[in-house]
Amino acid sequence: MGFIAWLIIGGLAGWIAGNIMRGGGFGILGNIGVGIVGAVLGGFLFSLLGLSSGGFIGSLVTATVGAVVLLWVISKVKKA
């Protein structure tokens, strides 16, 4: 996957996760950062569950799930 597609998926995943978890995005750089870290986390979680995804939509779903999990963990750590 090309670098531009990587950034687009990261930005979209971060924006979607931000809307799911707190009702808003984090700005373009924040969305990309959350999405990229979420993609790594989502890929790890999906591999633990024996799931795989391919293509643009599969990568977007994986990154979004990972980003939502990341934001949930961050919200729990901030409350503690």
C-beta neighbour count of 3 within 10 angstroms: 7
- Tokens matching residue 50: 């024996």
Q: What are the tens digits of pLDDT across the range 45-66?
A: 999 999 988 889 999 999 999 9
Q: Is the pLDDT confidence value at 41 over 70?
A: yes
What is the mean predicted confidence (pLDDT) over 11-21? 90
| CA angle centred on 25, ends 20 and 28, rounded to 5° | 140
Q: What is the pTM of this model?
A: 0.87
Considering its fold, how many domains does the chain have in total?
Answer: 1
Letter string b/e over residues 39-57, b meaning 16 or more CB atoms within 10 A of that residue's CB: bebbbeebeeeeeeeeeee
d(CA 59, CA 77): 27
Range of the domain at 8: 3-79
pLDDT of residue 21: 86
